[in-house]
Amino acid sequence: MKRWIAVLLTAMLAIMLQARATAESDNEISNFNRYADYTPQAAEPVGLIPGENHRTLVVWFSRVGNTVFDPDVDVVSSATLNRGEEGALLGNAQMIAGWIAEETGADRFLIQTAYTYPSDYHQTVQVGEGQDIDFVDLELAAHLEDVSGYDTVWLVSPIWHYTVCTPLRAFLEEADLSGKTIYVMTTHCGSRFADTVEKIQQMQPNATVIQGVAVSGNNPTNFESDVRAFVQGTMQ
C-alpha cells in the first residue's frame, strides 16, 4: 500500500512540475509573440566557441542565430543580413564579431534568447521595441558559466529602440565583468552608439567601458577596415 502511495505521489509531482514548466514556457513565449503575430521557436544553443586567445572574449547578438530564416532568404532586400564567401548567412553583428575574432584569436560567444525572433525585419523591430519599453526580463538559451579568465571583452550588438537591445541587457545582467576592459561595437541605422556605452557602464560599474566603432547597418562591409584598425590599435 505504501509503495502505491509513493508511486502516486511521484506521478502527481511529475505532473505538477510539467504543468509549471509549460506555464513558464508559455510566459516566456509571450515575451515575443505579444508584440508581433508569429510563432517563436525554441533556440538551439551554440555555447562558447573556443579560439586561440583565452584571455579575450567576443560576445555578440545578431538576428542570425536568433531567428529561423528560409535557406534562400533574400539578403539584398532583407535588412541586417549578408552572405559570406561560401554563401553562409551572416548577421551584421556576427560579421563584425568575426573580424574582431580574426584579429585577436579570441573565444566567441553568441547571445541567444530562449526563443527566436521573427524572420520579418519589421516584426523584429516591433518585438525589440516592445521588450525595451516593457523592460522585459528575457531568458537566455546559453550561458557563460565562468568569465573570470578574460581580461578583455568585446561586445557587439545592434542598437534597438535607440538603446541597448534587450538580449544584450539580459547577458550583462547575469555576467560579472568586473575588472575587465570592455570595448563596445554597434550596428545601427543612424543612432550610432545612442546611450549604449553609458548604460553598459552603469550595468558593469567595476569594468572599464570603451567606445569602439559604430557600423552602419546599411553598408557594414564598408567599415571592415575601420573595425580591424581599431582592434589592432588596442593590441599595440
Instruction: Tell me what pLDDT residue 207 has.
Output: 98
Q: What is the mean pLDDT of residues 111-130?
A: 96
| Grid cell locating 236 | 599595440
219 or 17, higher pLDDT = 219
The label of the residue with cell 503575430 reads: 37
Contact 179, 204 (CB under 8 A): no
Give the whole-angstrom CA distance, residue 96 versus residue 64.
13
Q: What is the mean pLDDT of residues 214-236?
A: 94
Identify the weakest region by mean pLDDT among 11-20, 110-119, 192-201, 208-217.
Answer: 11-20
DSSP 118: P
For the chain, give the percent of residues with pLDDT over 70.
88
76 or 203, higher pLDDT = 203
Instruction: Tell me what pLDDT residue 2 has.
Output: 56
- pLDDT band with cut points at 50, 70 and 90 for residue 80: confident
Identify the weakest region by mean pLDDT among 8-17, 54-63, 99-108, 156-165.
Answer: 8-17
Give the whole-angstrom CA distance, residue 226 versus residue 204.
26
Q: What is the mean pLDDT of residues 19-48?
A: 84
Q: Is the pLDDT of residue 16 over 50?
A: no
What is the phi-psi region of residue 87: left when phi exceeds 0, alpha when psi lies from -120 to 50, beta otherwise?
left
218 or 200, higher pLDDT = 200
Contact 193, 223 (CB under 8 A): no
Identify the weakest region by mean pLDDT among 8-17, 39-48, 60-69, 78-87.
Answer: 8-17
Instruction: Tell me what pLDDT residue 65 has.
Output: 94
Instruction: Tell me what pLDDT residue 20 has.
Output: 44
Give the whole-angstrom CA distance, residue 65 versus residue 111.
8
Q: What is the set of domains in the chain, with CATH numbers?
A: 34-234 (3.40.50.360)
22 or 138, higher pLDDT = 138
Q: Is the pLDDT of residue 144 over 50?
A: yes
Q: Is the pLDDT of residue 176 over 60?
A: yes
Instruction: Tell me what pLDDT residue 94 has.
Output: 96
6 or 141, higher pLDDT = 141
Q: What is the mean pLDDT of residues 103-112?
A: 98
Q: Is the pLDDT of residue 77 over 80?
A: no
Q: Is the pLDDT of residue 48 over 90?
A: yes
